[in-house]
Structure 1
């Protein structure tokens, strides 16, 4: 390859790098602006009109969940919509729309989310902290939510591992929670990958379900003291918000740059022929 060709290729690579850099900067600015604006707007509404938060939540749910399904279907991630978080949020949506003053259902959704709710107070309404007994608390903050979780786990297993088993076996690109988490754990070779392999590779699915169940039981057990203590609840909320902000910054500064670089690398691989082909093209053709 001549020096002129080297110069042209380096110039092309430099221009492409600048375009990628500018695209990433623009994308980061938009993402940061929308995230901060949405969070600030929600905090304002939470303080100014807390009674309207339920409607905003419902609007977001019925708008973005279908859009996410369309996008996830295209990416073959649609089985993620069967995860427990969507199951719990659907129950929460039903409570907000149809049973906003149901104390028992509120306690179940509180256990799912461990988040603060501020229902409107009336003379007929019993405060959500005024409960009958500790057994009542344990029943509706731990036992009933745990039964709901077990029901979800059974339904999830039947759908993913029984009804859709052949579909998933035919297409390894279709992602489920187990496939996604096990793939990441195997790549990182972390403690979760080692724990899930205690009973052998053939039982990793069972170990995954068991570990998730243990985590769920442990976190649900915390809801009773959190429900009764304002201080513990406040500390827990601060920890959750801090974790969300930290993960958001990590995504913005580490994950997004990697995604942009990988996407551009794939484009280059498609646009340019392999090195062997280019070297053969540059070789002179011998005459007969």
Structure 2
């Protein structure tokens, strides 16, 4: 067998051999050929007349399993029309964002707002349908709301501008690394998650470093009057902590306290999800082993410490356009790499898992048929012996 043998050139025995998986070429062209060959094989098998009832049952079950494999493969490889259109939309959105930053930066906050009004209702509906609506109270949505308030309601507020910059270049941007946000362009869910973490800091970058001074003084006077060189880090921490305290207080009152019974019954929020996801880590064990209600306070302090640590470099991003550009480029590349990992590793592993599952089921069916055939032969031999004795 060659290093990468097309799957349509393999014999049936080679196909069901697990050791051949690493040598098979799973390209789209060869998979289309497999689909066609499978269809022809089933048509030929349907014309074969076999008197053995057990073998007919085996043939029917095997044909059903092949159909299932075919459906799974095509579901993985052939995206729906919605996903195809959304892939095109996502790709063009990235291109158009770059065009606006370079050519018309004064329109970028409008572009961000339009995408926000398109994607957030979809996220609201999809999370509500999947019973994930408590996640909509997380910090990332709160920060996006603050950015929208600064853009359209309080553009003259210096402290709101500073808070938005610290939050977006702090928690939101670093969350791409911490929580492995993936820019998977065909997925509305994953692209929306990337949007709420990437677009706010890019918008603040444009407002801070790309806008003309005259336009900025009229449209965003809070950003124009802000003295970047004399920014006091402690003052920034104080203001950001105040807004963080507002969010955390509202979150624990309306989610942790008012929805306590639903959470106990299995309703998922970010706190319960993190406790379960990191239960095997040292920090997770430490938090989970604390007596109630201390885990909630520990989680709050850890999250607050994370926010403070990620905003320590904000003075550099504020003062240096080059440093801010490099940082945002790094975050975007990481999101793209995570998306590529999803496409290559996740899809590839799913395909390999489906093939291995089919091989296992075929082997079980063959073993079952051989066992039944052996028992039938034994019964026939016993009957013939009894007739001879008579």
Give the TM-score of the pair, scaled to structure 1: 0.76
Corresponding residue of 2:295: 204
Q: Do the aligned partners of residues 164 and 200 (structure 1) sit closer, same or farther apart at CA in structure 2, a change above 3 Å counting?
A: closer
Deviates more, 1:250-259 or 1:223-232: 250-259
Q: 1:84, 1:152 within 8 Å by CA — same for their partners in 2?
A: yes
Distance 2:237 2:257 in 1: 29
Once the two structures are superposed, the pairs formed by residues 9-20 of structure 1 within 5 Å of their partners are: 9-20=61-72
Distance 2:104 2:56 in 1: 66
Residue 122 (str. 1) matches residue 214 (str. 2): yes
Q: 1:95, 1:106 within 8 Å by CA — same for their partners in 2?
A: yes
Corresponding residue of 2:243: 148
Deviates more, 1:1-10 or 1:92-101: 1-10
SS at match of 1:122: helix
Corresponding residue of 1:131: 227
Distance 2:150 2:260 in 1: 33
Distance 1:85 1:66 in 2: 15
Once the two structures are superposed, the pairs formed by residues 161-240 of structure 1 within 5 Å of their partners are: 161-169=256-264, 171-172=265-266, 174-186=267-279, 189-197=280-288, 199=290, 203-240=294-331
Once the two structures are superposed, the pairs formed by residues 83-98 of structure 1 within 5 Å of their partners are: 83-98=138-153
Distance 2:239 2:312 in 1: 12
Corresponding residue of 1:57: 112
Deviations 1:211-263 (A, max 9, x none): 2111111012221233223343233212211221122223334456778999x
Q: 2:113, 2:148 within 8 Å by CA — same for their partners in 1?
A: yes
Deviates more, 1:58-67 or 1:142-151: 58-67
Distance 2:99 2:113 in 1: 18
SS at match of 2:311: helix
Corresponding residue of 1:274: none
Residue 4 (str. 1) matches residue 56 (str. 2): yes
Distance 2:312 2:250 in 1: 23
Corresponding residue of 1:247: 338
Runs of 5+ unmatched residues, structure 1: 263-288
Q: 1:24, 1:257 within 8 Å by CA — same for their partners in 2?
A: no
Distance 1:259 1:139 in 2: 49
Distance 1:233 1:195 in 2: 36
Distance 1:4 1:213 in 2: 65
Deviates more, 1:222-231 or 1:239-248: 222-231
Residue 27 (str. 1) matches residue 84 (str. 2): no
Structure 1 position 210, deviation (Å): 2.0
Q: 2:154 aligns with which of 72, 87, 99?
A: 99
Aligned length: 258
Structure 1 position 199, deviation (Å): 3.3
Distance 1:124 1:51 in 2: 9
Distance 2:281 2:306 in 1: 17
Distance 2:216 2:133 in 1: 43
- Which has the higher Rg, Structure 1 or Structure 2? 2
Structure 1 position 11, deviation (Å): 1.9
Q: Do the aligned partners of residues 228 and 45 (structure 1) sit closer, same or farther apart at CA in structure 2, a change above 3 Å counting?
A: closer
Deviations 1:164-194 (A, max 9, x none): 112322x30x2211122222223xx234423
Q: 1:129, 1:228 within 8 Å by CA — same for their partners in 2?
A: no
